Structure 1
Amino acid sequence: MRFVYLTVIIFFVSLNLRPSITSVGPLLDIIQTDLGISGVTASLITALPVFCMGLFAILAIKLNNCLGMEKSLLIAMSLIFVATFFRMFVHNSFLLFATALFSGIGIGIAGPLITGFIKKYFPNNHGLMGVYSVSMVIGAAVASSFSVPIYERMNESWQYSLSFWSILAVPASLLLLPLLNKAEKSKDTQPISALFVKNKRVTLFMAFFGCMAAIFYSLTAWLAPIVQSMGFSHSQSGLILTLFTVIQIPVSFLIPILVTKTGNRKIWLLVCILLEVIGIVILLFHFSPWAATIFLGIGAGGLFPLALLLPIQEAKSIEQTISWSAMMQFGGYLLGALGPTFIGLTVDIFDNFAPAMVGLLIIICAMLVTVLKIGNKTGHGEHVNEGIH
């Protein structure tokens, strides 16, 4: 029963890490028109949470030291709940950005702590990382799937549609409460400055994660508007965005298993990158967006869990794993936040999505370079002996 209880906590906490972001995409042009904002400004609704996910990944370590993992996770869920719920009352861009900011802080705190939670309660079962990644994809899929139907049901109020997803934080918070009495503060009292890793491998992980996140969140924010620019309706574009996220559910679960069985991480990373290239090219030349979305969904679904596994496979201790994960997400999400903004800027300048698609192909090429350098090393060489300074 305890195994099931703790697994359910991982599921519900992880479920909250994407809906406040992915619920925006299908409604982005409606929000943009209603608030009278530009493409760059609209992109900040997605870019701000992603930026915060990176910036506050380091704060997660500090909170863990001061309050303990369980209390820190409860604080994160509370931030996500409040920020998402108050979107119901948003009537200007400033307040909308404020909700994006605080939901991003909550997500940024929770991300590295879930890795630590799995390490603490399931030290010999890395398979629970699959629950973490799949739960995030499910949350993203559900939010992107039902944002438009909820918008239509709630008198075409995008505010109510966005705020609806605060409900997911309630069970996550309630499930964490019984653990608070048993929570312990971390024995690792390193200052935040000590967490900056002088390690070439971690720098590579960060660069790879940044490219991966830039592509993923660009597609999350702009795939629906791209499809709409090709003549598809809001409902159809919402279904395409749903397809993008739903495909990732089985892929994000199966790819890590295949990597473990084959022992060849590099080949699976390259396959996922190739699929993303094919998907972007299909969109660029206005072929079937359904086919493009299948390729993009499989590529994105494989790349994210493989990115999460990199520190686990190569770090030598639990503490090092958590620190490396925090640093990878810190730099990676900060870089990733630039993706949606870049798309918005190119759309404002060129008034079409073709330059943005070319830009995404360039980012994918940069990601390919990092993957070739990362290779198949698994933490047994000298590269992991560099310390945390």
Structure 2
Amino acid sequence: MTVAWRAMLVVLLALNLRPILTSIGPLLEPMRISTGLGYQQAALLTALPVLCMGAVPLLHPWSRRWLSEHAGMLGGLAAIALACLWRLQLQSAWALVASAVLAGLGVAVVQGMMPGLVNRWFPGRLAGAMGLYSAALMSGGGLAAVLGPHLAEYSGQWQLGLGAWAAPAMLAMLAWLILRPRNIQSPVFKGNGGHWFGHRRAWLLAVYFGLINGGYTSMVAWLPAFYLEQGGSAQGGADLVGLMTLFQVLGALGLPLLLRRWVDRRPGLALALSIQLVGFMGLLMVPTAVPGLWVALIGFGLGACFSQSLTLTLEHLPTPAEAGGLAGFVQGIGFIITGCVPYIVGWLRALDGDFQSAWTVLTASVLTMLLVTIAFSPQSYAKALARPVPVDNVDALS
């Protein structure tokens, strides 16, 4: 299988990992009118899938003993497809929440495997491959946000804007069956595979990943509602999510390409976080002046941060199996944190009646992570993650 076919398969898989989140915000008002969905329940539609994305990878050191990569990938894609098909029919708020959990579990399984898979399939091209994966992941989210309202308007049913994304999930299942490489052996994990609960660097990477990506889930969940409050339209809010996604793709692809020869990831991460910081400060201080500019800056920073932070994690360890295990832990803890952020934003919105406090919290979070970036010197990788704790000794930690 050529590199081009592998890259195509990565793109098809990644496209399915965000529509379940980004299709919600632009259709929130008709969903609320039809089902009686409250703002806190609406926050769960984003928060619960992201929490699933966190919980499932944490089980990876144990589940990989009985769940193969092939079965996991097919099962995850099938869960996404079933959840979207269910959304074509549902009418109640709690059914929406349940479908979000099912889809989130599917995304969690697929997404948890992707960093290790990319690391294994593209030796020597990790930064560029992670950029491609990140860009495709964000593109799928942007397409769902922009096209969802059009599909809903065309059909007269908001359910189609949520459920149409079963089609690309089924296409990805077919592509996986046909295109997956047979000549690149999947990792085989024995009983002494490592988990990372006892490593401070692993926890720092996880919290870092979670907080620098919390802005994404918050913007996806609440940007359309914020734009409506500023006097805009629902489609205008969806278009802003689409604009954010466009610049996310540019950030995810462009910055790794620009810095592809750099061993130290800190300058790229610092630049991405600084750009993100300017965008959030713009929303906080002059939200109605040039909202497209603020959203574009936030999008570029988020896209670059996602790909660069995953690359940073994978580069901490020398083998794809070890690096994939660490990435699973970092995504696990990280996405739990990321999933809590939009819920906090929704709580602050309900408490204050506007988004000023929410943007303040996100601005402070980005500034803090900018300072934390200093800690990730390449010379510190090996020492920081020496002596992984065996899975068989997990009881000793309890």
Q: Into which bin does the TM-score normalised by the smaller protein fall? A: over 0.9
More displaced 10-residue stretch of structure 1: 363-372 or 298-307:
363-372
Q: Distance in 2 between matches of 1:140 and 1:211?
A: 19
Q: Distance in 1 between matches of 2:61 and 2:74?
A: 14
Q: 1:142 to 1:378 in 2, by over 3 A?
A: farther
Q: Determine whether 1:387 maps to 2:396.
A: no
Q: 1:277 to 1:180 in 2, by over 3 A?
A: closer
Q: 1:67 to 1:275 in 2, by over 3 A?
A: same
Match for residue 154 of structure 1? 155
Match for residue 353 of structure 1? 355
Q: Distance in 1 between matches of 2:309 and 2:389?
A: 20
- Post-superposition CA distance 1:101-145 (Å, at most 9, x none): 011111111112122222333334323222211110110111111
Q: Determine whether 1:329 maps to 2:331.
A: yes
Give the secondary-structure state (helix, strand or coil) at the position aligned to 1:337.
Answer: helix
Match for residue 20 of structure 2? 20
Give the secondary-structure state (helix, strand or coil) at the position aligned to 1:89.
Answer: coil
Q: 1:184 deviation in Å?
A: 6.8
Q: Distance in 1 between matches of 2:73 and 2:237?
A: 34
Q: 1:89 to 1:380 in 2, by over 3 A?
A: closer
- Post-superposition CA distance 1:134-158 (Å, at most 9, x none): 1101101111111111111111x21
Counterparts of residues 127-276 of structure 1 (less than 5 Å): 127-155=128-156, 157-178=157-178, 186-190=187-191, 194-276=194-276
Counterparts of residues 273-352 of structure 1 (less than 5 Å): 273-285=273-285, 286=287, 287-352=289-354
Q: 1:180 to 1:251 in 2, by over 3 A?
A: closer
Q: Distance in 2 between matches of 1:293 and 1:185?
A: 40
More displaced 10-residue stretch of structure 1: 61-70 or 253-262:
61-70
- Post-superposition CA distance 1:298-326 (Å, at most 9, x none): 11111000111012211122221011100
Structure 1 stretches of 4+ moved >6 Å: none
Match for residue 77 of structure 1? 77
Paired AA for residue 78 in structure 1: A
Match for residue 99 of structure 2? 99
Q: 1:200 deviation in Å?
A: 2.2
Q: Does the 8 A contact of 2:46 with 2:342 survive in 1? A: yes
Give the secondary-structure state (helix, strand or coil) at the position aligned to 1:187.
Answer: coil
**CA RMSD of the aligned region, Å?**
2.1
Match for residue 40 of structure 1? 40
Aligned residues: 386
Give the secondary-structure state (helix, strand or coil) at the position aligned to 1:82.
Answer: helix
TM norm structure 2: 0.91
Q: Distance in 2 between matches of 1:191 and 1:44?
A: 37
TM norm structure 1: 0.93
Q: 1:190 to 1:108 in 2, by over 3 A?
A: farther
- Post-superposition CA distance 1:180-203 (Å, at most 9, x none): 8959774213389x5234222211
Q: 1:380 deviation in Å?
A: 5.5
Give the secondary-structure state (helix, strand or coil) at the position aligned to 2:231.
Answer: coil
Paired AA for residue 79 in structure 1: A
Q: Does the 8 A contact of 2:49 with 2:104 survive in 1? A: yes
List alignment gaps of at least 5 residues for structure 1. none
More displaced 10-residue stretch of structure 1: 58-67 or 159-168:
58-67
Paired AA for residue 341 in structure 1: Y
Q: 1:108 to 1:61 in 2, by over 3 A?
A: farther
Q: 1:256 to 1:367 in 2, by over 3 A?
A: same
- Post-superposition CA distance 1:157-181 (Å, at most 9, x none): 2111100111111111011224789
Give the secondary-structure state (helix, strand or coil) at the position aligned to 1:316.
Answer: coil
Q: Distance in 1 between matches of 2:235 and 2:325?
A: 42
Q: 1:88 deviation in Å?
A: 0.9
Match for residue 396 of structure 2? none
Identity of aligned residues (%): 23
Q: Distance in 1 between matches of 2:328 and 2:279?
A: 30
- Post-superposition CA distance 1:272-305 (Å, at most 9, x none): 2122221112112323211111111111111000
Q: Distance in 2 between matches of 1:323 and 1:29?
A: 40
More displaced 10-residue stretch of structure 1: 169-178 or 76-85:
169-178
- Post-superposition CA distance 1:61-113 (Å, at most 9, x none): 54443242122111110011101111111111111111110111111111121
Q: 1:329 deviation in Å?
A: 0.4
Q: Distance in 2 between matches of 1:196 and 1:268?
A: 26
Q: Does the 8 A contact of 2:132 with 2:252 survive in 1? A: no
Give the secondary-structure state (helix, strand or coil) at the position aligned to 1:260.
Answer: coil
Paired AA for residue 284 in structure 2: L
Q: 1:360 to 1:181 in 2, by over 3 A?
A: closer
- Post-superposition CA distance 1:328-381 (Å, at most 9, x none): 00100001111111111111111111111112122223322321222x325664
